[in-house]
Amino acid sequence: MKQFESITELKRFLTVPYVEEIAVQSLRLTEIEPLMLNIRFSRCLFLGCSMSDDLLHHLLPGNFIFPLLDVPFNTYP
């Protein structure tokens, strides 16, 4: 599973219409939301990423989304 911890790296990767089995951690996905809404994702993992409701609903089917929790420590180190 390919992992992404920078928005620049993820944006460079998202040049295909279908993405499968990637892991994205602690990124503000609102920065690349228009791009992501045009891509189909499957079996991808999103840990502690911030995203709009539109993007959340786009990603919910077939992916694993663990929200950013409001706690005083990093939940996904």
Q: Going by C-beta distance under 8 Å and a sequence separation of 6 or more, which residues neighbour residue 54?
A: 33, 37
| Mean per-residue pLDDT, 63-74 | 78
Position 60 scores a pLDDT of 95
Q: What is the pLDDT of the chain when averaged over all its residues?
A: 92
* Banded pLDDT at 68 (limits 50, 70, 90): confident
**pLDDT tens digits along 27-63:** 999 999 999 999 999 999 999 999 999 999 999 999 9
3-state secondary structure of 60: coil
Residue 67's pLDDT is: 80
> Is 39 exposed, middle or buried, given 0-12, 13-18 or 19+ CB atoms closer than 10 A?
middle
- In the predicted model, is pLDDT for residue 71 greater than 70? no
CA–CA distance, 7 with 18 (Å, rounded to integer): 18
Q: Distance of CA 77 to CAs 6, 26, 48, Å?
A: 14, 9, 10
